[in-house]
């Protein structure tokens, strides 16, 4: 059985993901390594931008998959906190992580979002829509 690649879905999801990852990386770079109250908004964007952008791209590609998109992107957002923190704790001591402003953690967040987002985009592009659109309906 061969699967047909939905290029439109792949393009929309990957484009949105790239925008989210670029926005997250920009916000991380904008902090300049500083970790205080003045950079909280930028650090929130680091962990929120890619899943949110992917969700928007998913809705643009297949708005009838709102539930699946919301669930998958929320899980990506929520569980990344734990995975990135666990990897950081295995690689760097807690004192060193605090001293360097958890640089590894925030970098891992962006890497995990990128890898998982690409995987989700390819999965949806290789899978037929959950609900077939009515004939004549413009997606």
- Residue corresponding to tokens 């949105």: 16
Domain spans, the chain: 7-126
**Considering only CA atoms, which of 77, 17, 15 is closest in space to residue 47?**
77
Full pLDDT tens readout for the chain, 139 residues: 567 899 999 999 999 999 999 999 999 999 999 999 999 999 999 999 999 999 999 999 999 999 999 999 999 999 999 999 999 999 999 999 999 999 999 999 999 999 999 999 999 999 988 776 566 666 5
pTM over 0.85: yes
Q: Are 117 and 54 contacting, i.e. CB atoms less than 8 angstroms apart?
A: yes
């Amino acid at each position: 059985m061969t699967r047909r690649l939905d290029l439109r879905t792949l393009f929309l999801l990957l484009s949105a993901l790239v925008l989210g990852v670029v926005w997250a990386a920009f916000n991380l770079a904008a902090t300049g390594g500083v970790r205080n109250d003045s950079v909280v908004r930028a650090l929130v964007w680091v962990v929120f931008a890619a899943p949110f952008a992917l969700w928007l791209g998913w809705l643009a590609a297949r708005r009838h998959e709102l539930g699946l998109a919301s669930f998958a992107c929320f899980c990506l957002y929520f569980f990344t906190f734990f995975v990135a923190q666990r990897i950081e704790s295995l690689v760097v001591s807690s004192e060193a992580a605090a001293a360097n402003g958890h640089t590894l953690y925030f970098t891992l967040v962006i890497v995990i979002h990128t890898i998982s987002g690409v995987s989700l985009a390819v999965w949806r592009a290789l899978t037929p829509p959950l609900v077939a659109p009515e004939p004549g309906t413009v997606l």
